[in-house]
Amino acid sequence: MNSQKIILKNALIIYAGIVIYFLITKILGLDEVSELRFLNFVFVLWGVNNAIKTNMDVNKENLYINNFSVGIATSIFSVAFTILGLIIYVGFIEPSFMSVLENSSFWGKDLNLIMVIFALAIEGIASSVICSFVLMQYYKNYSIPEVIL
């Protein structure tokens, strides 16, 4: 499996996890609890970890920078998918969600969709690098299992 397939597969899994989590919080009436949004990081961490480990095991990739790049690309693609999902959700499904964001202590007042997208992109890229770097500290000494025929 090439790296691009690993990246896209895991990015879509992260995105699906975040969407399902968001829908569950919405159904339970917890969508206004902004602190619960930090649990999105669990999905990102799991997906990036899975992408790096799959790249190492399936592609026998052992170079630090290549696996680091796979981790970053996976989470950046998931951020892009999430931003697209937010645009669709706020633009077509529930425009009043912007008021939920404004009322949270995290975002502040007088928000517009462009500001939220920009903030999510910056936060997502920063967390992508941090998450990938932290995981690569674990995997830098990981040895690829050899297949004995």
Domain ranges of the chain: 3-139
d(CA 144, CA 128): 24
Q: What is the mean pLDDT of the chain?
A: 87
Taking the CA atoms of residue 133, residue 61, residue 43 and residue 110 in that order, the dihedral angle to the nearest 10 degrees is: 50
Residue 16: pLDDT above 80? yes
d(CA 34, CA 30): 9
Residue 60: pLDDT above 90? no
| Tokens encoding 74 | 């996976």
Q: For residue 96, what pLDDT is reported?
A: 84
pTM of the predicted structure, to 2 decimals: 0.86
Residue 105: pLDDT above 60? no
Task: Give the model confidence (pLDDT) of 112-122 as tens digits.
Answer: 889 889 988 99
